[in-house]
Amino acid sequence: MKVAVFSTKAYDREFLTRANQQATHTLVFHETQLNAQTALLAQNSEAVCCFVNDRLDADTLAQLAAFGIQLIALRCAGFNQVDLAAAKQLGIKVARVAEYSPHAVAEHALGLVLMLNRNLHRAHHRVRENDYSLNGLLGFDLVNKTVGVIGTGKIGQVFASIMRGIGCRIMAYDPQPNPELLASGVPFVSLEQLWREADIISLHCPLNSHTYHMVNSDAIAQMKTGVMLINTGRGGLIDTRAVIEGLKSKKIGYLGLDVYEEEGDLFFEDYSNQLLQDDVFARLLTFPNVVITGHQAFFTREALDAIARITIANITHFEQGEFQQMVLVE
Ligand code: NAD
């Protein structure tokens, strides 16, 4: 099939090209994001392949449908960037990579926890400046701390296991509790109890109308003073302005983000020669107890390899009419 592949970097092209060696689809790589302004680039293709910040709204989808596009092959797990109702109405199938490496994301979340707790980001800079003082670097033992895991699917489950391995007490919230965690004795509690009792809260649920801004001023008010908040899920799970107020009042003691609600205009690009225009993001960067990575939790060799293989397999299954073999988003 001829596939217009959007939001590609050199690493995407490398892994997708390798995965396509047997399948021999025609992959047309574009660096630009897919949105209503760039949809024209998909003309003459049969499918598009997209990533987390492509904007598959009703307008973009209508243009794709008019070009005869029948498949959106997402090379990611989340699908909050797609207007699924519009896609369904237009008869466009949406496939995703449901699982590539839950370890990649869970291990990155652990990295954020350790970095914040032991101030590794500040320690690294100090030593390079010939400054070996410890003032301000005081951490805390993770053992016996309570970790609240929100969303206990593939990533949440691995994160819970890792933190349990360190000696933390795990509590979880999920409308559909993970059976393995349940069986292993992890208590599933109400969100309110989790806000109240967790020392560390980590978000691993999808972004949808129920979870949008689930961390808001109400939720923050219920949390322990000095709580550590980690978000490797999606930016929209957090009301960033409320979190900034929480940091200023010291209610939130540590914030680790891999995702940001307005990341679509920032992440994955090099703007080091330009002025930062997002004042909310700029405020976040002023806090010493905030660590932000640019949506890189998924970014391991194993994950990129799996993403590329599953994406190409989804396209091949679609071409051969093997819809039951695809991971379709309905
Ligand atoms: P998953 O589908 O395996 O698990 C999601 C879990 O969230 C499910 O158990 C589901 O029941 C639960 N859930 C649904 N609604 C909820 C709610 N209102 N409150 C609490 N839990 C709820 O997904 P996964 O593979 O574990 O991925 C989780 C999320 O992580 C994805 O949706 C994606 O947004 C994000 N993600 C981020 C990166 C990254 O690089 N930062 C990479 C992959 C995935």
Range of the domain at 173: 102-292
CA-176 nearest atom, ligand 1: 11
Q: Which of 158, 171, 204 to mutate to test the pocket of ligand 1 (most atoms within 8 A of CB)?
A: 204
pLDDT at position 330 over 90 = no
pLDDT of residue 64: 98
For the chain, percent helix, then strand, then coil, each to nearest 5?
40, 15, 45
Whether 80 is in a domain gets the answer: yes
Choosing from 234, 261, 309, 317, the catalytic residue is: 234
| CA-based nearest residue to 197, from 176, 222, 221, 219 | 222
Q: Is the domain of 91 the same as that of 111?
A: no
Centroid of ligand 1 to alpha carbon of 155 (angstroms):
7
d(CA 119, CA 127) in angstroms, rounded, equals 12
Whether 39 is in a domain gets the answer: yes
Q: What is the mean pLDDT of residues 6-15?
A: 97
Q: Is the domain of 277 the same as that of 308?
A: no
Domain count, the chain: 2
Whether 330 is in a domain gets the answer: no
Provide the CATH number for the domain around residue 25: 3.40.50.720
pLDDT at position 237 over 90 = yes
pLDDT of residue 175: 98
Q: Which of 82, 101, 173, 174 to mutate to test the pocket of ligand 1 (most atoms within 8 A of CB)?
A: 174
At 273-325, the pLDDT tens digits run 999 999 999 999 999 999 999 999 999 999 999 999 999 999 999 999 999 99
Quick one: pLDDT band at residue 24, thresholds 50, 70, 90? confident
At 66-102, the pLDDT tens digits run 999 999 999 999 999 999 999 999 999 999 999 899 9
pLDDT at position 327 over 90 = no
Q: What is the mean pLDDT of residues 116-143?
A: 98
pLDDT of residue 71: 98
Whether 143 is in a domain gets the answer: yes
pLDDT of residue 49: 98
Q: What is the mean pLDDT of the chain?
A: 97
Q: Is the domain of 19 the same as that of 49?
A: yes
Q: Is the domain of 69 the same as that of 80?
A: yes
Beta strands in the chain (DSSP E): 2-5, 26-29, 47-50, 71-74, 93-95, 146-150, 169-173, 200-203, 227-231, 252-257, 290-292
Placement of tokens 């679609």 in the chain: 318
Q: Is the domain of 89 the same as that of 138?
A: no
Whether 145 is in a domain gets the answer: yes
Q: Is 234 marked active-site? A: yes
pLDDT at position 133 over 90 = yes
